[in-house]
Chains A and B, each alone.
Chain A
Amino acid sequence: MLKLTDITLKLDGNLILDNISLNIQPGSIWGIIGPPASGKSVLVKTICGFFKPQRGSILFNDTDICKIPEAKMLEIRKQIGMLFQNNALFDFMNVWENVAFPLRRSNPEIDPGQLRQKAWKRLKKVGLAGSENKLCSELSGGMQKRVGIARATINKAPLNIYDEPTAGLDPVTTSKIYDLLLEIKRQNSSTVLAISSDVEGLRDFVDNIIVLYEGKVRYSGPEKDLESSTDPVVHQFVRGEEEGPL
Chain B
Amino acid sequence: MISSFFASVGEKILNFSKIIGGIVYLFYQIILALLPPKFDLDEFWRNLYKMGVKSVPIIILTAFFTGGIMVIQASVFVKKFGATSLVGWGAGYSVFREVGPILLGLMFSGRVGSNNTAELGTMVVTEQIDGLKALAIDPFRYLIVPRVLAMIIMLFLLTIIGNVVAISGAALFGKYIAGVSYAGFWTSFSQNLYLGDLIHGLIKAAIFGFIVSLNSCYFGISVKGGAVGVGKAVNNSVVASALGIVIFDYILTYNIT
Contact = CB atoms under 8 A, between A and B. Distances in A.
B130 A88 contact: yes
A79 to B, nearest CB: 9
Contact of B127 (A84, A102, A151): A84
A12 B77 CA distance: 63
A78 B136 CA distance: 6
A74 B142 CA distance: 13
B127 A105 contact: no
A105 B133 contact: no
Contact of A50 (B133, B135, B137, B138): B133
A90 B134 contact: no
A58 interface: no
B159 to A, nearest CB: 27
Contacts of A85: 127
Nearest to B125: A86
A125 interface: no
A106 B134 CA distance: 12
Nearest to B131: A88
Interface in B97-154: 119, 122, 126-128, 130-131, 133-138
Contacts of A105: 135-137
Contacts of B137: 74, 105
Interface in A115-143: none
Contact of B128 (A50, A74, A77, A90): A90
Contacts of A151: 135
A101 B135 contact: yes
Contacts of A77: 133-136
Interface in A58-105: 70-71, 74-75, 77-78, 80, 82, 84-86, 88-92, 101-102, 105
A45 interface: yes
A80 B134 CA distance: 7
Contact of B131 (A49, A71, A80, A90): A90
Interface bracket on A: 20 to 34
Contacts of B135: 77, 101-102, 105, 151
A47 B131 CA distance: 14
B241 to A, nearest CB: 22
B177 to A, nearest CB: 45
A48 interface: yes
A88 B126 contact: yes
Given A86-B126, A91-B126, A74 B131 contact: no
A90 B137 CA distance: 13
A106 B136 contact: yes
In this complex, the member of A71, A85, A88 whose beta carbon has the largest number of chain B beta carbons within 10 angstroms is A88
A77 B136 CA distance: 5
A114 B35 CA distance: 34
A84 B130 CA distance: 9
Given A84-B127, A86-B126, A48 B134 contact: yes
Contacts of A45: 130
Contacts of B127: 84-86, 88
Contacts of A71: 138
Contacts of B136: 74-75, 77-78, 105-106
Interface string B223-257: 00000000000000000000000000000000000
A106 to B, nearest CB: 7
Contacts of B133: 48-50, 74, 77
Nearest to A80: B134
Contacts of A101: 135
Contacts of A80: 134
Residue picked from B122, B127, B134, B136, most chain A C-beta under 10 Å:
B134
A49 B137 CA distance: 13
Contacts of B122: 91
B133 to A, nearest CB: 7
6 contacts: A49-B133, A77-B134, A84-B131, A88-B126, A88-B128, A102-B135
A-B CB proximity, top 4 nearest: A88-B131, A88-B127, A82-B134, A77-B136
Given A50-B130, A91-B126, 10 more contacts: A70-B138, A74-B133, A74-B136, A77-B133, A77-B136, A82-B134, A86-B126, A89-B128, A90-B128, A105-B135
Interface of A: 45, 48-50, 70-71, 74-75, 77-78, 80, 82, 84-86, 88-92, 101-102, 105-106, 151
